[in-house]
Amino acid sequence: MRFGSIIAFVALCSFTAYYIYEPIPEEIEERWKLMLTNSFFRSLSNLADLSELLGLKDYMGVMYFITLAEKIVPVSDEHVKVTEEQFDGVEVVLYQPKQSDGGTKLRRAVIYLHGGGWCLGSSLMSPYDLLARKIVTELDAVVLSVEYRLAPAYHFPVPYEDVYRVVKHFLDKGVLAQYSVDPGRIAVSGDSAGGNLAAAVSQQLQKEPGQQVQLKAQALIYPVLQALDLNTPSYQQNQDMPILPRYLMVRFWSEYFTSDRAFFRAMMANTHNNPESSSLLKFVNWSAFLPETYRRKYNYSAPTVVQGEDAFGKGELSRSLADPRASPLLVPDSALHSLPKAYILTCEYDVLRDDGIMYVTRLRSAGVEVTHEHYDTGFHGGLMFTVWPTDFLIARLMTENYIKWLNENL
């Protein structure tokens, strides 16, 4: 009996180790912690697939557990005043320094947009709450976090429009005066899908007629910037990387646009482009915009364009796929010249690496001041892993460098 128990215990340990282990590159620090963390994400993703297959709950409905598990009730502390408000009908969380100057000093402001593939995430998650408080205390700044509506309940352009309305509302001179914000020292920032929204808002705001207050800076953290070519070198190299494998990123994109599973399958095969979007492929041609270092062994092959009756993206979906508000890399060079200075963070082991690097190349060519911070051992989502037990050393480094840039450039 005892021998049988030992055999069972060894078998269980072996199975657990087999399930947790992944061939993560040696260069990544704290590899086993990342494996353990990702085993939770993989298990939840597998459960979500099963749930959807059985018709119990849709995939993103199950994955939303990640958001719920991290949600907190934001409260004020001795240094930071926290309030939940509505700006033009959209929920926001406002973080302000506790007044010590009678409210006469004008402060910097950061509009922060959370990540989560437009389907998950919330400004009320503990890592975002901690980041906002750190920005407030270290920069003596106001932080505005936007609780935009999520897909699949609200497809594009709803999340973008929520964010744009908040930014427009906040940049009103009367509103800025109410919160003691300096109109000349405001940045928009976000991670992942939030970086996408921040880039899109920066581009569209400069075209707004009569817009008196403009952004001084944009800070994009491993941003997702285009949906036309989902087979860039970084998508291929990192297709099975932890936290954001290619399957999940493509799923996020498809859910952002539509609930049609056929479109998801087409995106997975990189055969989702239609004649309208194909004319914009020149803006995401990684053979032109990606430095040789990142091309490696990969050879460029233009995504397939489906014609006629078999084409995906008819009507509204067709327009969304070609819309720069969804894919900021699709704007022409002429729309880049007057953009605010930019900070772009990219990670080597991230499917979105090349999106960010291509944007760095195009912005610099357009004369925009860009600080590009590339983490050779970084992985997607790294900045948010600041809470025990999933706290990583690289998260601290990313946070320090990001806030340092804001301090020096805002």
The set of catalytic residues is: 192, 350, 380
Q: What strands lie across the sheet with 341-349, from one edge to the other? A: 80-87, 90-97, 142-146, 107-113, 181-191, 217-221, 341-349, 370-379
> Long-range contacts of range 99-105, CB-CB < 8 Å, 24 or more positions apart?
103/180, 104/180, 105/180
Name the residue type at position 16: T
Encode 87-107: b = buried (16+ Cβ within 10 Å), e = exposed.
beebbbbbbbbeeeeeeeebb
Taking the C-alpha atoms of residue 115 and residue 191, their distance in angstroms, rounded to an integer, is 5
C-beta of residue 375 within 8 angstroms of C-beta of residue 346: yes
Cβ-proximal residues to 27 (8 Å cutoff; 6+ apart), any chain: 348, 376, 377
Taking the C-alpha atoms of residue 116 and residue 126, their distance in angstroms, rounded to an integer, is 14
Concatenating the DSSP letter of every residue in 336-384 gives TTTPPEEEEEEEEE-TTHHHHHHHHHHHHHTT--EEEEEEEEEETTGGG
Taking the C-alpha atoms of residue 264 and residue 272, their distance in angstroms, rounded to an integer, is 8
C-beta of residue 350 within 8 angstroms of C-beta of residue 241: yes
Taking the C-alpha atoms of residue 250 and residue 266, their distance in angstroms, rounded to an integer, is 10
Taking the C-alpha atoms of residue 21 and residue 95, their distance in angstroms, rounded to an integer, is 40
Residue 159: asked if its preceding bond is cis (omega within 30°), the reply is: no
Taking the C-alpha atoms of residue 273 and residue 267, their distance in angstroms, rounded to an integer, is 8
SS (H, E, C) 69-91: HHECCCCCCCCEEEEEEEECCEE
The torsion angles phi and psi of 309, rounded to 5 degrees, stand at -65, -25
Taking the C-alpha atoms of residue 6 and residue 46, their distance in angstroms, rounded to an integer, is 30
Strand, helix or coil at 145?
Answer: strand
